[in-house]
A and B are shown apart, each in its own frame.
Chain A
Amino acid sequence: MDTVEGARIGRPAAPPARDNYLTHSAGFGSWAFTLDHKRIGVMYLVATLSSFLLGGLAALAVRTELLTPGRTIMDADTYNKMFTLHGAVMVFLFIIPGIPAALGNFVLPLMLGAKDVAFPRLNLMSFWLWILGACFAVGAVIAGGVDTGWTFYTPYSTTTNTNVIATIFGVFILGFSSIFTGLNFIVTIHKLRPVGMTWFKMPLLLWALYSTALIQVLATPVLGITLLLLIAERALGVGIFDPALGGDPVLYQHFFWFYSHPAVYIMILPAMGVISEVISIHARKHIFGYRFIGLSSVAIAAFGFLVWGHHMFVSGQSGMANVIFSALTFSVAIPSAIKVFNWLATLYKGNIQLNTAMCYGLMFLITFTIGGLTGLHLGSLATDVHLTDTYFVVAHFHYVMFGGAVVAFLAGLHHWWPKMTGRMFDERLGRVGAALVFVGFNTTFFTQFMLGSHGMPRRYYDYLPKFQIYHVISSIGSYVMAAGFFLTAYYLLHSLFRGRPAPMNPWGGNSLEWHTPSPPPHDNFAETPLAEDPYDYTHLVYDSATGGYLSKSYHEAEA
């Protein structure tokens, strides 16, 4: 069992003296060529958070421009490029890789009691591909940007004179990064489970990452071919999607959304997995409905492939397709709702610890539910005709992607921060940051539901004066949110230098990553641990000397 030398709660102390994965080797090469999944996870974390900063600054620019009708700080073409930048960076560089690559890479092998993922070199290649794709995408932005929106609809994307090919080639490479990560996770979960850990004894995060990985492997190649076809269309004038050349623009949307709808489940499934872990551990209660939650992850992955046409209700696709896709869209809401009910049941009569991670977890339940319910408005044909391409859609997807995936990412970041860095952060500042994010987020996006239902179209640079009050409120909310994020960045970075050293098990979890020191040694475990029920906390007791939880037998022996 691990004890921390010379540390007491509240007083910053020297970093742990023993060797861990961070101190195991030094130098740029030891990180750039590492095969250690933990280091790769950390590099992904830095990379994706940097992308979040870039995309977030673009968002602030967009919101600032929308403070007044007409020109505020930029012209219309720049505005188009700015929201395209925001969307493309956030979707492809941050949210899709986000939880699986940054948190999943770190935690997944630890939860399996394994030494690494199945293919460590492929894992490193995934990261390098991310970097390469990001270079193309960001390079395209610096060289003048793209103004098509992140969806690259034809025929505008085939005829506009902006850097479309450079951007989508970057996205193509990022797609392979995603595919290889998914491939790695599927094989790892199939083959590297420890003795005694059957499928229904795995932590639920692994069910979530497994379902995500299935989508990553099966859906992303279709994006790949879509982008290749788009490049061919622009470079060679092939004519599959552009009507001026004999093509069909709605076909492009079929191709694009066949990937991009499952992609949103790539974004949300890992988030739901994180929430399962966080809610159970911080409520000190066994997860309720384990099988339902686990199997609903797979169900969401499967159903997610059947509903892509609900992005195309007004595109010109046939009425028959509209009806089929609308009906299927209602079905895909069911497994998500099952999860929400199970999480609520887990909280009921639990012993809720309002740690920062739990604050974000509770926030998730509110914002994700709102986002999910408003998806039903958009899934019904009659209401969608009014709401499509308005701010209602913008608000809906921000509630699920931000209020869902990003909030869960923050929950997971705070939950595993002590394990990854060996440091505890300031909980008071953490809760303040969470409050700022919550207030700012709802201010920003709830007003956008109203904007949309009153008729304000999305991606519009100019608008009628009657909408201005909503836009101003929304923009103020975005500044509050930004303040919350900057505060979060501050106290997390501060903890790296002055944070209290973290105990092995600060929150009292029982999945295997809490059975190894914080930060873990290079080889993860001194001895391969035996798998237990990951949600059984009855034997864990809080020990104030270490600031963490210890197994009851050990604690009694010490007393």
Chain B
Amino acid sequence: MGAAQILQYLLSGVTTGSIYAIVGIGFTIIYNATGIINFAQGEFLMLGGMIAISLHGFLPLPQAIALAVVATGLCGVGVQLVFLSWLRRPDILRMIIITIGLSILIREAALHVWDEKVHALVYWTGDETSSLAVLGARISPQLLWVLGACALMVASLTLFFRYTLTGKAMRACASNATAARLCGIRLPWLVTLSFFLAAAMGALAGCVVSPMTQTQYDMGTSLAVKGFTCAVLGGLGSVGGAVAAGILVGVLESASISVLPLAFKDVVALTIMLAILLVRPQGLFAAIGRKTGPL
């Protein structure tokens, strides 16, 4: 295998990996605010992509994407307000089942609004044949869009959590909800905001990746499982960890294609996840001494 080919695998791995990372961060945001793993997280990517594809029928691309992101964010808010906000101290099993049920309802709704076919948004610049030469490897310009969008999201999220009052309030809730409430932080509003953020981020990821990997109504589940893998690998709750884990999973997955049949691509990522969960449940990149973990 030549150096250019390795670079090719690496780049495509980093690209898919950064999408997994975004899904993982979506899990993280909602988990931090509520302690819930939202199994419908993958559906937000599908919704974002689908809405943008439909809107692009009569709107220019940037507006279509912006509207799709906002609309999906509002869907996330709607899900939270209608289904989850009024539950008092639900147990975990109940929340798991509700969010799984919601993911199915969103998926089935998408099946009926759109159809079972594979759709794709147009390339943001150029088309499927255009490519850039990077150190001998040929890559699609869309790949740069994916990396750029993911980097932008991660950077702005980090700034948001670190320097804004709202971001700090969300972190306070994650570390101790009761203490945060005693300090006058209004928890319900933050929970709604976390659903908006997670859904909107998912939608943007869904739009940026749609030209390359296509959008289909049932794409959510595998994305959710892989995104969760990254969230856990990165130590649930950490944005940087999720990114590192996402890139790791993406590269391993794209390397697996050169060894195994394409059909087993998903098996690789999920087997890694199972293995990691069992060996190192606190995550690969988890801060030492942090007390969140599955055991």
Q: Do A and B bind each other?
A: no
Contact surface of B with A, Cβ cutoff 8 Å: none
